[in-house]
Amino acid sequence: MHHPSPHPSRPETWTWREGARPLVVAHRGASALAPENTLAAFRLALEGGAAAVECDVHLSADGAPVVIHDARVDRTTSGTGQVASLTLDELRRLDAGAWFGPAFAGERVPTLGEVVGVCAGRGRLFVELKVGGGPPLVDAALQAVSAAATDVAVISFDPEIVQLVARRRPDLPLGWLLTAGHAAQLGAAGVLRAVTTAGAGFIAPHFSAATPPLIEQAHAAGLPVSVWTVDDPGTMVDLVAAGVDAITTNRPDVALRALPR
């Protein structure tokens, strides 16, 4: 089966498979083993052999692209409130590791630039731009990765963001994230139309929506399929057999054991 690159101009740097194994992408870093979206989690994933890491990006009150999943800081830091209401300095004062375990006390909310630096020369980076961020988030994130010494892909659930990135950085691998419900509503043909109309170069569905017909039709249209978020090794093996090109997981250590090259 042919597994295409979304940007044929860069085939030497963005290949989707490592032999028989799809690209293993560590979701928010090695987030089952370290506090999600911290430098510790990203380092642990890369040191353990993950080919890529994935991070989430919001804007601080003063326009800095910061790496945190939720719109609020409450769940994963010592603080409270909206990310968008806190300046970068205020965010940097929060502890983003102690909630996970005492060994990680003192971890901070990183900037996107810091995550890019951790990945340099070590692995690729999938950057999820959060829904509703609009042009300011796109501009700040693209600036942060403009001189990245690693390969960067952009992903989002937000069609406006996908379209903006497609226009501003057509050279970047760009994926549209799809929930299982959205994929079911659109059907395989509808998914392909929506993704290509938006200008994305690959499909990023929830793993339960990555059916053989969708994968086959995506590949026929030249679109790789990158699924999220899979922690069960048996499911990983089934997805590889179905032909997926990348698997995002909280447990890159499990994926690397279950999916030999």
Closest by Cα among 89, 57, 91, 55 to 73 = 91
Q: Which amino acid is at 252?
A: P
- Nearby residues of 122 by Cβ (< 8 Å), 6 or more positions away: 46, 150
Angstrom distances, CA of residue 107 to CA of 37, 40, 64, 208, 250: 10, 7, 18, 33, 19
User: Catalytic: which of 2, 3, 69, 182?
Assistant: 69
Largest CA distance in the chain: 50
**How far is the C-alpha of 97 from the C-alpha of 107, rounded, in Å?**
5
| Phi and psi torsions of 11, nearest 5° | -65, -25
**How far is the C-alpha of 58 from the C-alpha of 168, rounded, in Å?**
19
Burial of 225 (0-12, 13-18, 19+ CB in 10 A): buried
- Catalytic, 27? Answer yes
Angstrom distances, CA of residue 239 to CA of 90, 126, 197: 42, 20, 26
User: Catalytic: which of 2, 3, 7, 27?
Assistant: 27
DSSP assignment letter at 54: E
CB 252 within 8 A of CB 41: no
* Tokens linked to 207: 């793993």
- Catalytic, 182? Answer no
- State the catalytic residues: 27, 69
